[in-house]
Amino acid sequence: MKVIITGAAGFLGSRVADFLLNESSLSVTKLVLVDVTKPQSRPDIRVHTLAIDLGAESAAEDLLSDGADVLFHLAAVVSGHAEADFDLGLRVNFDATRNLLEAARRYAPALRFVFTSTVGVFGGTLPQVVDDFTATTPQNSYGIAKAMSELLVNDYSRRGYVDGRVVRLPTISVRAGIANKAVTSFASGIIREPLNGERSICPVPLEQELWLMSPGTAVQNIVHAATLSSSEFGPWRCVNLPGLCVAVRDMVSALRTIAGDQVAALVTYEIDENISRMVASFPSKFNTSRALSLGFVMDTNFVDVIRNYIKYDLNKPINN
C-alpha cells in the first residue's frame, strides 16, 4: 500500500508517519512524506521524502501521477497565520486541497483521501451541542477554507472521484515543541511552558471552555479514518472527533494537581481581544456518538493528558 502524507514535517504529520511505520494495521509498502521543507527521513526503506510547495502549479499532479492508495492531507496554514495572511491561507488551505482532489480524480480515483479539518468550521449562533450535521458558519478565514474543502471532499466522494473522509480535529493539547501561530496555541502553552519553568500568558478568560484532544489520540484517530470503508462513513464524509470539554481554569487546576502551586503560578492572564473573540466563536460541546460508533477514540481526562505529555514528550527533542 502506497501512502502519502502532506504536512509531514509538522507536529502531527511527523507523528502520523511514525505511527504508520510502527503501530498501524495498515500494510504500508511505500510512505511518501511531503512538505514545503523536506521532512525528516527515517531509517526505513519504505520512506521517501519530498520538498514540494503544494500551491505551485502542477505540484499535485506531480505527487499523484504515479497513483496512491491513501493520502493524509495535513498540510495547512494555521488559524492565526491564515487570519493575518489571507492570500497565503487561501492558497494553502483551499487551493492546494482542490488541486490534490483534482489530481486524485485524474490519477487515483480509488484514493482514500483523509482530510484533517477543524472544529473552527463552526461559529456564530450555534445549538448548545454541535453534531456532525450542524451547519458550518465559521467566523475566521481558516475555518472558511476548511469548510469549503470539506464540501469539495464530500462532492468528489459523491461523484466517485475519490474515497474521501474528513476528520474535524479538536484543539490539540498538549503540543510539544514551541508555540505556533494558531489562536489556540495557548492551550498547550499554559501547560508546556510552566512545566519547563517558563511563564505563559493566557489570552482568554478562565471560564473559556475548549474542545481538546491529546496528540497521541489525534494520531490514532487520523489513521483510523483510513481503515474504515466508505459504506461505514455513508454519504456525509465529515465526522467530529471525540474530545474533552475543559475550561481554562480546569486546565490550570490539572497542572496544579500534577506539578504543584509554584508551577501553576507561572500561568498569567492578559486578555487579547482578537484571540479571545475567535476562540469564543468555537463550540466546546459536541455529540460525537457517530464517531464513537465508528471506532474513533477519546481521552479519559485532562490530568492524564498532561501525565502522558510528561511521560512521552517533556524534555525530548521535537521535530517540527
pLDDT tens for each residue of 28-71: 999 999 999 999 999 999 999 999 999 888 999 999 999 999 99
Give CA 221 to chain center in angstroms.
10
Quote the pLDDT of residue 316. 57
CA dihedral 177, 183, 187, 189 (to 10 degrees): 40
The answer regarding whether domain 2-170+214-240 maps to CATH 3.40.50.720 reads yes
Quote the pLDDT of residue 23. 87
**Residues with catalytic annotation?**
142
Quote the pLDDT of residue 317. 46
Instruction: Indicate the pLDDT class of residue 78, thresholds 50, 70 and 90.
Output: confident
- pLDDT tens string 244-272: 999 999 999 999 999 999 999 999 999 99
Instruction: Indicate the pLDDT class of residue 318, thresholds 50, 70 and 90.
Output: very low
Q: What value does the mean pLDDT of the chain take?
A: 94
- The terminus-to-terminus CA distance of the chain in angstroms comes to 26
Is the separation of the CB atoms in 153 and 164 below 8 Å? Answer: yes
Block residue for cell numbers 475555518: 143
| DSSP letters spanning 188-245 | HHHHHHHHTT--EEE-S-TT-EEEEE-HHHHHHHHHHHHHS-HHHH-S--EEEPP-EE
Q: Is the pLDDT of residue 161 over 80?
A: yes
Domain boundaries, the chain: 2-170+214-240
Instruction: Indicate the pLDDT class of residue 82, thresholds 50, 70 and 90.
Output: confident
Quote the pLDDT of residue 127. 94
Cell of 80: 492565526
The pTM of this model reads 0.94
Quote the pLDDT of residue 167. 98
- pLDDT tens string 283-292: 999 999 999 9
- pLDDT tens string 5-20: 999 999 999 999 999 9
Residue length, the chain?
A: 320
| DSSP letters spanning 16-42 | HHHHHHHT-SS--SEEEEEESSPPPP-
Going from the C-alpha of 243 to that of each of 40, 162, 240, the distances in angstroms are 30, 28, 9
What does the alpha-carbon distance between residue 239 and residue 241 come to, in Å, rounded to a whole number?
6
Q: Is the pLDDT of residue 319 over 50?
A: no
Q: 41-59 in b/e burial notation, b at 16+ Cβ within 10 A?
A: ebeeeebebbebebbeeeb
